[in-house]
Amino acid sequence: MRPRAWATVAQGAAVWALALVLAWSLPGGLWRPVPPPPFPVHALLPAAFALGTLALAAPLLAWLGGPDLAARRPLALLEAPPDLLWAGVLLACWPAAWGPPGQGGWLAAFLAAALPGEVRWLSAALPGEVPFPAAWGSEVVRRARRLTLTRLVSRWLAARLPIWLTASLVLERMLGVPGLGMDWMERVAGRDRAGLAAWVAALALLCLLSRSLEVEAVA
């Protein structure tokens, strides 16, 4: 690994170490201490399915649409509504005879809220294709897009995962579906320093692993 790459990874590690220290030394306390909430194991499979669907669909659509897709007005209109609005639309359109939306409704609202923005983010990160490689034909253009997205995906996933968790928190609150977003928020409210530090450590490990893999690919 190159010295500059090592410096970049070291800077990221320092930032995450500071976040870990802040999580472990979270100030304040509860007037009546309560035990930390159990980890929502039941939410792991739906969350993994949602993230996997997003991780496959967003790069695929960006690969098909290219950099011009980032400037399309319909995509911007789909990206503009906040997560709160998507949850409200889902609740308004959900038939009462079906019961609560549950995990299926949460998945639909999550993808509707997150997918347009992630497609635009990836499309905007693609380099221009005029005059080259467009002059060399569509096959070369598709290959250039694929190589660029392959380089971007690992860092994109690590950078956007905390944002997806925040979006998940809003949707979980609106739809009444306990999940990973509510878990870390409840640990903050309950001053569960150990649980919150475990969350930060997991996100840090994912981020640093993605950066190291990207550096190895570049080298």
Distance CA 171, CA 51 (A): 15
Q: Which of 28-37, 115-124, 154-163 has the lowest mean pLDDT?
A: 28-37
The per-residue pLDDT for 63 is 92
What is the mean predicted confidence (pLDDT) over 186-191? 80
Count of CB atoms situated within 10 Å of the CB of 78: 17
Tell how many helices (H) and how many strands (E) occur in the chain: 8, 0
pLDDT-based confidence at residue 129 (cuts at 50, 70, 90): confident
Buried/exposed code over 124-160 (b: 16+ C-beta within 10 A; e: otherwise)? ebbeebeeebeeeeeeebeebbeebbeebbbebbbeb
Predicted structure pTM score: 0.78
pLDDT-based confidence at residue 62 (cuts at 50, 70, 90): very high
pLDDT-based confidence at residue 211 (cuts at 50, 70, 90): low
Contact criterion met (CB below 8 Å) for 197 and 32 = no
